[in-house]
Amino acid sequence: MTLIFEHHIKLDNITNNSIDVEAITALTALFDSLAKTDNTLSKAQLKQAISKGALWLTRGKHTQRLRRLKKPMQQGDELHFYYNETVLASEVAEATLISDESDYSVWYKPFGMLSQGSKWSDHCTIARFAQQYFTSERAVFIVHRLDKAATGLILIAHSKKAAQALSSMFENRTTNDNSLDKYYQIIVHGNHSINEQPQVITTEVDGKSARSTFRCLTYDETKDQSLIEVKIDSGRKHQIRVHAASIGLPVVGDRLHGIADNNESLNLQLCAVSLSFICPITQQKQCFQLSEALRPQL
């Protein structure tokens, strides 16, 4: 049976006559408190869970993930420990650095890697991978997201200023000044080459307007599958997958919007392959392309 539990400690309630509360470390406080429950874990298990992002500290009005095992506690501190055995055991392929632009970096996010973590952990996220990648650890801020099942290009900002500027660019994208262009490639079931080229799809997604442009790159008659380039002018959740399904050509590997009786072994064939924009920090044109080897292969 998978072990899942939450454990919360307020240090006002911890008394130890032999040492001051301020001398208690995060690891000691958590270990001693858990020892009084049915969810006892060894210190090695605690260390591993904490390294993967399972422990949070609330000090005053501020709550943040805590990884420093020997961090001294203060009177009034609260520790929040979230243990999910399955989540903590998860593994994912490494991301690939495409370009380091100092204020931000561009990465290839592999299948299964999350954009951001949850209260349970963040060890399988692009944010944590980027944070640990550089010799001198940098701050990381998520600018935009890719679904867990999707692959491709993703930006990570390394300062609050860069994060605000880049996030605003994504949120306020326009179709007139070409300030931001995002292209994807997908493999779908069926022959898209018989449709109008390019095909503009404006089906609403979750009741909100959405616009995608599909252009067939090639069709494999043997597999009855098409490789399609997609440009999106809006960023609705699962937009490409919904739009592909809406024209009867579901994305291969899409178990949510695809073929109902789906026995496919392939992962979702949806990849962000190109990203170009006027950098709001330098005002220079930037264009990042994914190599053919990392793109969907028909």
| Domains of the chain, start order | 4-89 (3.10.290), 96-172 (3.30.2350.10), 180-273 (3.30.2350.10)
CA 107 to chain CA centroid, nearest Å: 12
pLDDT at 12: 79
Taking only the tens of pLDDT, the chain with its 298 residues reads: 789 999 999 987 555 544 455 568 999 999 999 999 988 899 999 999 999 999 999 999 999 999 988 888 888 899 999 999 999 999 999 999 999 999 999 999 999 999 999 999 999 999 999 999 998 889 999 999 999 999 999 999 999 999 999 999 988 765 445 578 999 999 999 999 999 999 999 999 999 999 999 999 999 999 999 999 999 988 788 999 999 999 999 999 998 887 655 566 689 999 999 999 999 999 999 999 999 999 999 9
pLDDT at 137: 83
Amino acid at residue number 214:
F
Residue 9: strand, helix, or coil: strand
Q: Are 20 and 60 in contact (CB under 8 A)?
A: no
Distance separating alpha carbons of residues 219 and 189, to the nearest angstrom: 10
Cα-flanking dihedrals φ and ψ of residue 92, to 5°?
Answer: -150, 155
Q: Are 90 and 101 in contact (CB under 8 A)?
A: no
Distance separating alpha carbons of residues 74 and 148, to the nearest angstrom: 38
In 201-273, alpha helices (H): 239-246
Residue 116: strand, helix, or coil: coil
Amino acid at residue number 124:
C
Distance separating alpha carbons of residues 138 and 131, to the nearest angstrom: 6
pTM (two decimals): 0.88
